[in-house]
Structure 1
Amino acid sequence: MSGGASAEAQRAASAAVSSKRRASRSVQEAREKLTYKSGAKPEFEYELLMMFVRNELSAAVTTPLLAIIVAMGAMFWAPPRELLLWLATVFVAKGILITLCRQFIKAPREDATTPIWRAKITAAEFFYGVTWAGVAFISPDTQGEAAHTFIFASLLVVISMRMLFASTVMPIVYAGTLPMTVAIVIRFALLDNPFYWAMAAMAVGVHIYFIWLMNGLNSTVVAMLEFRAEKDALIAELEQSKSISEEARLRAEEANLAKSRFLATMSHELRTPLNAILGFSEIMRSEILGPHNNPTYKEYANDIHQSGQHLLNLINEILDISRIEAGRYELHEVPLDLAEVIEDCHRLMRLRAENKGLKIVE
């Protein structure tokens, strides 16, 4: 009994702890929704930032290589010294961004504060975008349309690449691409020519269109993460339900085993005195030790013997039911004497009625 009580106490304590954890989780989720106005959970923020970091590291040499190509193309109209200075700033900014990304990858998730890391990487991306925007101001006195078209095309290519890399984190998209678009507009505005005003307007329109595309892509990625989280939660619930079902099955098997042991013990405890009662009642009913002085004694002995036999049959039937439940009993059809069953029931009812001073009317 003490073991059962302790087990019940442990289960109750476990249920209480589980309830407290669920309540704490609900409060935490409510606070997260208030903190993050977008409704995105912190684990999603971490995953989205991790996607950007992995994209950046997987293409670490892409934009520096593009910067070299742009510098080589700009040598036809720009001073080499300015190009080398611009190229050096691009490499430095890229190095800072890559270093932060590698540090974020190495940091344990439980120690990584996502808002702080996002702010650091956004600042590094902004600096990187500013360095790329600097190419628009190399030799601003150049009036060749080819040079300005080259600047326009180069920066639009870089803008599209940076947006694709950072589409999972929209603040990084804005920080990395707005400086380049603003640089195009300022550079063409300084030229004060309708053709360049049209190109500046085109740059703004393309940037807005790209932002709209990236917002849709970002929403798709967030929805994908939400679906994955729901799937993981469903799998966890199924695993929990499976464990609960398994525990219930084990408890049912233990209860069934305890019942079988109880029935076996009770059968033995009942059969031992019952066999003695049946034996002595059979001797008295048969008058083996001599005739009774009172004929009623013989009738009583017969009733005792038949009642004991009936009780023995009940015990056997209870054991048979236990075997049937365990699936270890084969049923066979046998003829039944209905009159004997009715007579047996009548005799038992008559004994109870006589004990209460009643008489059964047939």
Structure 2
Amino acid sequence: MSLALYPIDDRTDLGRARKPRSKHAGSKVVRSARQNLKRHSRRNASFIEAELLVQHAAQLRAASIILPAPVILAGFGLSIFTGATVAAAWTLATLGAYLIIVILARRADTGTQESDGFTKAPHIAHALPFLAGHTFAGLCWSALAFLECPGCTAIRFELFHFAALVLAIAMTAMISSTLRFVVLIAFSPLVVGLSLDAFANPDKMSVAMQGVVIGAVPFFAFVAEALRRGAVARIRHQAEKDELISELERSRILSDEARRRAEDANRAKSQFLATMSHELRTPLNAILGFSEVMMNEIFGPLGSPNYKEYLTDIHSSGKHLLGVINEILDLSRVEAGQYALNEEAVDLSRIAADCASTVRLRAEDKRIAIQMHFEEGLPALWGDERALRQIVLNLLSNAVKFTPKSGEIILRVGWTAGGGQYVGVSDNGAGIPQDEIPTVLASFGQGSNAIKNAEQGTGLGLPIVQALVKLHDGQFELSSREGKGTDVIAIFPQSRVLEVMPAFDVV
């Protein structure tokens, strides 16, 4: 029990007594959002299908510039083998198929937004035109495989077929991977035709190349499905992220609204307490005044000695009730922003000495020694004398209340390391458990020691001290060790210390 760390630095953090925020608040929001996503699983599937169709249309629009290049190159190669007429006819037909697909992509309906942020699933008719367009393009590539060149060397023409068809299959898989089964549907006629031709003309070289082309269809179909699954995963993760962000935003709005309502309720409570305290104090002053007149028997003796005893109880109870009302009034005025400081130059040491004299009788009843250690030469402090007096009285009263008989209280006034002034009170009482410090610093909060000892009080003493110190731009600190005692310090900043100019002679 001591204020060992003097001089005191008035930049000390005062927030350590606050209760920490829950570490699980954010995870609860995340879990809630994920549960919402699971409840919307069917709608999410529709949403994903819609997004895949949108991506497919976007990919086709992006590739529309280079899409004709493979067709034109294949047509040019075909013209070398079959002549310009057949090649031109095939090229125009194939380009027409891809033109239809690109037109569908440019006119694609990307879906409409619902009120909850999900996209309506496109009707199956939205996907069928794309599948039909790719099937038409696949038929054109299949026709290329069965074009003949009677005057050409067989192996060279078949190699051309092989290269062009594998290129077409790969191009379809890459560009249209987000459209389900597009490779299988578009090139199934090619697979059927090449399979029948392999059985009809079992030439080894031809069968080998046809087998590679046939095998390329399921291979690139698998590649397209893998790309599609990757796109689905990205869309799902993006949807979850958007939903989580939306849920967090909704939670923030609800939290802000709840905080606003709490602040409004707190202001209403403070105004109500301030009003009711005034209304209660007026009749209570009359009760105290008349009971004191009757106790002193100013207008004649009382009829029974018991009456005087009862009046003493009435007067003491009324004084206690008046003190409680005054504390509630002071705190409510501070919380409502209606407490105005009447500032002037005051001597903090003198105020502390006066307060010690006020509580000395109560301390002597418990044989408690009050020691005062004041630094000399302290300049005046700019503050409200009534508020400063109340700060010191509350701190000393608490110390007397919770210090055992034959205990000791130390009252200190001095400089801080930052050039401010402080007033501190130390006792060797029972102390406060660390987990109860936030409770005793809260309004109407009382620790276990106060409850065990049945000490009277409202739990407003320390909150009022904190509020009054804060009004003086100061800091309040409380440290305690259970069974060792408690140290409380009110620190006032250097800006409130009035410098005293030295006297000089006038010539």
Q: TM-score range by the shorter chain?
A: 0.7 to 0.9
Question: Aligned-pair distance for 1:45?
Answer: 0.5
Q: 3-state DSSP class of the match of 2:95?
A: helix
Q: After TM superposition, list the pairs within 5 Å mapping 1:91-102 onto structure 2.
A: 91-102=95-106
- Shift in CA distance, 250/41, structure 1 to aligned 2, threshold 3 Å: same
Distance 1:148 1:211 in 2: 23
Equivalent residue for 2:395, pick from 316, 320, 333? 333
Correspondence for 2:277 among 259, 267, 274: 267
Q: Which amino acid aligns with 1:122?
A: L
What is the Cα deviation at residue 176 of structure 1? Answer: 2.5
SS class of match (1:72) = helix
Distance 1:175 1:245 in 2: 53
Distance 1:62 1:179 in 2: 25
* 1:310 equivalent in alignment to 2:320: yes
Q: Could you tell me which of 48, 53, 58 is aligned with 1:54?
A: 58
Query: Helix, strand or coil: the match of 1:77?
Result: helix
SS of equivalent to 2:64? coil
The verdict on how the C-alpha distance between 1:50 and 1:281 changes in structure 2, with shifts beyond 3 A counting, is same
Comparing 285-294 with 89-98, greater Cα deviation is found at 285-294
Paired AA for residue 148 in structure 1: E
Change (3 A) 1:148 1:189: farther
* Cα displacement string for residues 298-351 of structure 1 (whole angstroms, at most 9, x for unaligned residues): 444333322211211222344466679899996852146669xx9x98xxxxxx
Asked whether 1:45 is paired with 2:107, we answer no
Name the residue aligned to 1:134: 143
Residues 52, 166 of structure 1: 8 Å contact kept: yes
Task: Give yes or no for contact 1:137–1:187 (8 Å, CA) kept in 2.
Answer: no
Specify the alignment match of 1:253 in structure 2: 263
Distance 1:287 1:107, change over 3 A: closer
Q: Confirm or deny: 8 A CA contact 2:46 2:120 kept in the other structure.
A: no
Deviations 1:276-316 (A, max 9, x none): 11122222223344554655544443333222112112223
Q: Which residue of 2 aligns with 1:214?
A: 224
Q: Deviations over 1:134-155 (max 9, x none)?
A: 2223235455311110111011
Asked whether 1:173 is paired with 2:235, we answer no
* TM-superposed deviation, 1:201: 1.1
C-alpha deviation, 1:84, in angstroms? 1.2
Aligned length: 311
Give the CA deviation at 1:193. Answer: 1.1
The answer to whether the Cα contact below 8 Å between 2:274 and 2:333 also exists between their aligned partners in 1 is no
User: CA shift at 1:214, angstroms?
Assistant: 2.2
Structure with the higher fraction of residues in helix conformation: 1
CA distance in 2, matches of 1:321, 1:216: 68
Q: Which residue of 2 aligns with 1:67?
A: 71
Q: Which aligned pairs between 1:59-208 and structure 2 lie closer than 5 A?
A: 59-105=63-109, 108=112, 113-139=122-148, 141=150, 142-185=152-195, 191-208=201-218
User: How much does 1:203 deviate?
Assistant: 1.4
Identity rate of aligned residues, in percent? 35
Contact 1:162 1:177 in 2 (8 A): no
TM-score by length of 1: 0.74
**Aligned mates of 2:200, 2:98 — CA distance in 1:** 29
Distance change >3 Å, CA 112–CA 215, structure 1 → 2: closer
What's the secondary structure of 2:80's corresponding residue? coil
Rounded to whole Å, the distance in 1 between the matches of 2:176 and 2:103 is 17
**Is contact 2:54-2:110 (8 Å) kept?**
no
**Could you tell which deviates more after superposition, 105-114 or 167-176?**
105-114
Larger proportion of strand: 2
**Offset, 1:48:** 0.8
Q: Is the 8 A contact 1:135 1:151 kept in 2?
A: yes
SS in 2 for 1:215: helix
Q: Secondary structure at the match of 1:62?
A: coil
Shift of 1:256: 2.1
| Structure 1 position 68, deviation (Å) | 1.3
What is the distance in 1 between the residues matched to 2:310 and 2:173? 104
Please tell me the residue identity of whatever aligns with 1:225. I
Shift of the 175–62 alpha-carbon distance from structure 1 to 2, 3 Å rule, reads farther
Answer yes or no: is 1:278 the counterpart of 2:288.
yes
Q: Report the Cα distance in structure 2 between the residues aligned to 1:243 and 1:108, rounded to whole angstroms.
A: 26
Q: For the residues of structure 2 that align with 1:251 and 1:305, how far apart are their CA atoms?
A: 41
Check the 8 A contact 1:188/1:199 in 2, yes or no: no
Contact residue 64 and residue 91 of structure 1 kept, 8 A: yes
SS in 2 for 1:61: coil
Q: 1:337 to 1:150 in 2, by over 3 A?
A: closer
Which SS does the other structure have where 1:333 is aligned? Answer: helix
What is the CA RMSD across the aligned residues, in angstroms?
Answer: 3.4
Distance in 1 (alpha carbons) for counterparts of 2:71 and 2:308 = 120
TM-score (norm 2): 0.54
Task: Say whether the 8 Å CA contact 2:50–2:120 is kept in structure 1.
Answer: no
C-alpha offsets along residues 181-213 of structure 1, whole Å, 9 cap, x if unaligned? Answer: 445555666654111011111112222222222
- Structure 2 residue identity aligned to 1:286: N
Q: Would you say 1:301 and 2:311 are equivalent positions?
A: yes
Judging changes above 3 Å, is the alpha-carbon distance between structure 1 residues 211 and 172 closer, same or farther for their aligned structure 2 residues?
closer
Shift of 1:274: 0.6
Shift of 1:73: 1.6
1:228 matched to 2:241? The reply is no
